[in-house]
Amino acid sequence: MHKQIASRLLNWYEDAARRLPWRGVSDPYAVWVSEVMLQQTRVETVIPFYERWMRRFPTVQSLAEASEQDVLLAWEGMGYYNRARSLHKAARQVMRDYGGKLPASREALIKLPGIGEYSAGAIASIAFGLDETAVDGNVRRVYARLFDVDTPIKSPEGLERVEQIAREQLPAGLAGDYNQALMDLGAMICLPREPRCEICPLKELCLARQNGTQAERPVKSAKPEIPHWTVTAAVIWKDGKVLLARRPLNGLLGGMWEFPGGKLEAGESLKDCLKREIVEELDAPIEVGEAFGVYKHAYTHFKVTLHAFACRFVSEEPDVDGAEFVVWAAPEELQNYPMGKIDRDIARRIVSERSAAR
DNA sequence: CACGCGTGGAA
DNA sequence: TTTCCAAGCGT
């Protein structure tokens, strides 16, 4: 029988499909939001964010009309914040160019910011019923095992090999369910570690299982060692408020607010590091006071240990009025500013110490 | 095209 | 505690 993989997989999916909040929803915007949130992020993490997001921004128009700060605030905690800014930007494009309705073609979808090859195929097939492949990490792993692909999965050849398999296996008219079935299989059965081959609906068709190479598929390349930085941050007080600085839009935590500071240099003391960084960033000298906690955090490409200190400006202060990227915030206002994990931890400590002092 | 970009959960 | 991620995208 032709396309045995598709027929078996779809048969399995009828009963085994996960019930997820964005499944069975006919609104393409909902599918779009879910797909962007799911980029590099676990389903269990996404679910509560998705529910909150759809209440807060139920339509493309409501998202397009929101401020970037509110959008980032709603995204805070999920990471990869450029996704939120791209989604926001794309919503405004969809209002302007398509009357508020997502375009129903892979070619048009992929032109929108934040929608790449995978997401374009996923939205096209799931939301619009088009015959498009959607190859993500799950699908690559499943096909690498089914066809015992021995090429490194992230090499150009490995990627193209799987793309070709995906096109060959796609069942016409059923791409949406088939793509989701592949991802569910990858998430529940064909796991990265210890795949559950005994209960796999495709076990008789799996070449890696026949060859005993499941554990070696997909072939991954070695990862570089990640550096560990020591950094400092200043909680600068004035009249019961603290100073927040907004990070540049490009790069790590783009557009998010933080307590300013920076990397410790060789042979430098923590306090000297902080004084130097604040002069560099804000052009004003500070005095560094009491320590305000040590915070550890692991990003994807490096780890940090951050030392925070309570500080004051010595004499002249930076001209905050009119500056777009710095603000004095009262403790109860800190929740209104989107921050990454570490800075949110510092902000929470400020709020809790403030309330404890009363 | 290789690399930068977050976070929290599991083993 | 450390390691390894998890439904990719933009440059």
Residues A136-156, mean pLDDT to the nearest whole number: 94
Nucleotide with C1' nearest the A83 CA: C9
What local confidence, expressed as pLDDT, does residue A358 receive? 65
Structure tokens at A140: 């690559």
What local confidence, expressed as pLDDT, does residue A191 receive? 95
Task: Tell if A301 CB is < 7 Å from nucleic strand B.
Answer: yes
Nucleotides of C under 7 A from a protein CB: 3-10
Reference A111, options A97, A100, A129; nearest CA is A97
Coil/strand/helix, residue A123:
helix
Nucleotide with C1' nearest the A37 CA: C7
Amino acid at A347: A
Q: Which of A14, A35, A65, A281 is catalytic?
A: A35
Reference A190, options A167, A208, A176; nearest CA is A208
Asked whether A151 and A158 are in contact (CB, 8 A), the reply is yes
Task: Tell if A82 CB is < 7 Å from nucleic strand B.
Answer: yes
Give pLDDT tens digits for A328-347: 999 999 999 999 999 999 99
Question: Is a pLDDT exceeding 60 seen at residue A1?
Answer: no
Residues A120-135, mean pLDDT to the nearest whole number: 98
Reference A29, options A4, A6, A3, A61; nearest CA is A61
Question: Is a pLDDT exceeding 70 seen at residue A111?
Answer: yes
Strand partners, A245: A258, A326
Task: Tell if A342 CB is < 7 Å from nucleic strand B.
Answer: yes
Task: Tell if A81 CB is < 7 Å from nucleic strand B.
Answer: yes
Give pLDDT tens digits for A149-160: 999 998 889 999
Task: Tell if A193 CB is < 7 Å from nucleic strand B.
Answer: yes
- Residue count of chain A, please give it: 358
Question: Is a pLDDT exceeding 90 seen at residue A94?
Answer: yes
Residues A213-222, mean pLDDT to the nearest whole number: 90
Residues A158-169, mean pLDDT to the nearest whole number: 95
Task: Tell if A42 CB is < 7 Å from nucleic strand B.
Answer: yes
Give pLDDT tens digits for A77-91: 999 999 999 999 999
The HSE-up count of residue A200 (CA atoms within 13 Å, CB side) is 25
Place of tokens 């490995």: A158
Nucleotide with C1' nearest the A78 CA: B7
Q: Which residue is closest to B6 in terms of CA–C1' distance? A: A79
Domains of chain A from N-terminus onward: 4-216 (1.10.340.30), 228-356 (3.90.79.10)
Question: Is a pLDDT exceeding 90 seen at residue A247?
Answer: yes
Q: Is A35 a catalytic residue?
A: yes
What local confidence, expressed as pLDDT, does residue A317 receive? 75
Confidence of residue A323 (pLDDT cuts 50, 70, 90): low
Nucleotides of B under 7 A from a protein CB: 1-2, 4-9, 11
Protein residues in reach of strand C (CB < 7 A)? A 20, 34-35, 38-43, 80, 82, 86, 113-120, 122, 136-138, 141, 180, 183-184, 186-187, 191-193, 220, 223, 298, 300
Confidence of residue A173 (pLDDT cuts 50, 70, 90): very high
What local confidence, expressed as pLDDT, does residue A316 receive? 73
Place of tokens 């991954």: A220
Confidence of residue A195 (pLDDT cuts 50, 70, 90): very high
Asked whether A293 and A220 are in contact (CB, 8 A), the reply is no
Task: Tell if A341 CB is < 7 Å from nucleic strand B.
Answer: yes
Report the C-alpha gap between A193 and A229 in whole angstroms. Answer: 30
Question: Is a pLDDT exceeding 80 seen at residue A126?
Answer: yes
What local confidence, expressed as pLDDT, does residue A321 receive? 64
Strand partners, A294: A307
Confidence of residue A352 (pLDDT cuts 50, 70, 90): very high
